[in-house]
Amino acid sequence: MATAVNYDDKRFEEIETQQTKDLRETEAIYDNITKNSDSFYKKQTDAIGNWADKQTELQQAQTDFAIEKIEQSKDQAKKDYTKEQKGAYTDYQKATNEYGVNTEQLAAQGLNQTGYSESTRTNAYNTYQNRYVTARESYNQAILNYDNSIKEAQLANNAALATIAYESLQQQLELSLQGFQYKNTLLLQKLDSVNQTKDRYYQRWQNVQSQINTENAMAEQIRQYNESLAFQKEQAKQQQSNWEKEYSLAKKKSSSGSSGGSGGSAKLKDTSGGSAKLKDTNGDSSNSSNSSSGSSEKLSRGYTNVKKTALSLNLSAPGNKKSAVETYLAQAMANDSITKAEASKILEDLGY
């Protein structure tokens, strides 16, 4: 009867405990690596963000400075325009002032209040107007150019800022992709390591189960052997008791046969070794013919049982087994259970 595996065996518990410990250690290792990886890529991303902020700040500062210089040029152009406007007007005032140098010179020449005087005033006014218009146009064109330069600077600044933002975003995306791929690789390695650990401990669990099955099988074999041995000992004890009774009866018959002179029966003879030997005490032709006929004819009716008993005695009899077997066979011959030839054959089969 096969014995069921006891899954409460301490060895199973030890395997499960060690497996749980190893799995926790494996997961902790990969979790720590993943955490450090996340921290590393976050620092890299933050560094790119800081770089972008700094580049943006520098670019904006350069643009602001360029625009500031343009604004300064605009202010200077306005000052120059105002100065030219005032200068033209002042020159016009000097030319047309009735108390001015030009008027006095014309008066000295007798040209005052003449057509020449009026023409001089007109020329002075036209000169003033031309200077004013030219200064105004120059100022307007300068302001337009400066405003365009400001717009160009702003556009260039926007383009530079966009480039900075694009490069920063691209680098951050690349880092994010690298981080994702590395994290995914770590996850796969973690799962593979966990599965390998589980497979390793499953194999150990199977080995323990196989070992317990082997132990149970050996225990069952030992139990069956002990049970068989106990049965054989009990059988041998019973056979020994029966043999002793039969042996006692055989001795009585032998003694009676010897005293009556009938002969032809098997007798025990004690040798120097103390073992019982088979001996034909009559030696006449009738017994010889019976022995030879026993070897050629069918076996005696009691041969099988006698041989089984002899085999059991050979296995379990205390002391000199050969002597015990010969003694038993002699008693069986005396009871006519077997012939001498059959007894010899049994001894030969037992290796004696």
So where are the chain's domains? 10-216, 263-349
Alpha-carbon distance 243 to 328, whole Å?
Answer: 7
- Decide: pTM greater than 0.85: no
Q: Give the confidence band of 143 by pLDDT, cuts at 50, 70, 90.
A: very high
Phi/psi of residue 280, nearest 5 degrees = -90, 115
Helix (DSSP H) and strand (DSSP E) numbers for the chain: 7, 2
Q: Give the confidence band of 279 by pLDDT, cuts at 50, 70, 90.
A: very low
Q: Tell which residue, 241, 291, 247, has the closest CA to residue 267.
A: 247
In degrees, to the nearest 5, what angle opens at C-alpha 123 toward C-alphas 117 and 127?
145
Which pLDDT score, from 0 to 100, does residue 290 have?
Answer: 40
**What residues contact 95, with CB distance under 8 A and at least 6 apart?**
102, 120, 121, 124, 127
246 or 202, greater pLDDT: 202
3-state SS assignment for residue 244: helix
pLDDT in tens, 203-260: 999 999 999 898 888 888 888 888 888 888 888 788 778 877 877 776 676 666 544 4
Q: Which helix (H) or strand (E) holds 346?
A: helix 340-349
Give me the amino acid identity at 9.
Answer: D
Residue 20 has pLDDT above 70, yes or no: yes
Distances (CA, A) of 144 to 62, 140, 157: 21, 6, 19
Q: Give the confidence band of 318 by pLDDT, cuts at 50, 70, 90.
A: low
Q: Tell which phi-psi region holds residue 210, choosing left (phi > 0), alpha (psi between -120 and 50) or beta.
A: alpha
Residue 159 has pLDDT above 90, yes or no: yes
118 or 321, greater pLDDT: 321
Encode burial over 132-150: b for 16+ CB neighbours within 10 A, e otherwise: beebeeebeebeeebeebb
Alpha-carbon distance 197 to 206, whole Å?
Answer: 14
Q: Give the confidence band of 17 by pLDDT, cuts at 50, 70, 90.
A: very high
Q: How many CB atoms lie within 10 A of CB 171?
A: 17
Q: 208-211: long-range contacts at Cβ-Cβ below 8 A with a sequence spacing of 24 or more? A: 208/9, 208/11, 208/12, 208/15, 209/5
Q: If you count them, how many residues does the chain have?
A: 352
Q: Tell which phi-psi region holds residue 318, choosing left (phi > 0), alpha (psi between -120 and 50) or beta.
A: beta
Q: Give the confidence band of 94 by pLDDT, cuts at 50, 70, 90.
A: confident
In whole numbers, what is the pLDDT of the chain averaged over residues? 79
Which pLDDT score, from 0 to 100, does residue 222 have?
Answer: 86
Alpha-carbon distance 176 to 43, whole Å?
Answer: 11
Q: Which residue has the tokens 């001996």?
A: 279
Alpha-carbon distance 328 to 337, whole Å?
Answer: 11
Which pLDDT score, from 0 to 100, does residue 53 have?
Answer: 93
Distances (CA, A) of 223 to 101, 219, 228: 152, 6, 8
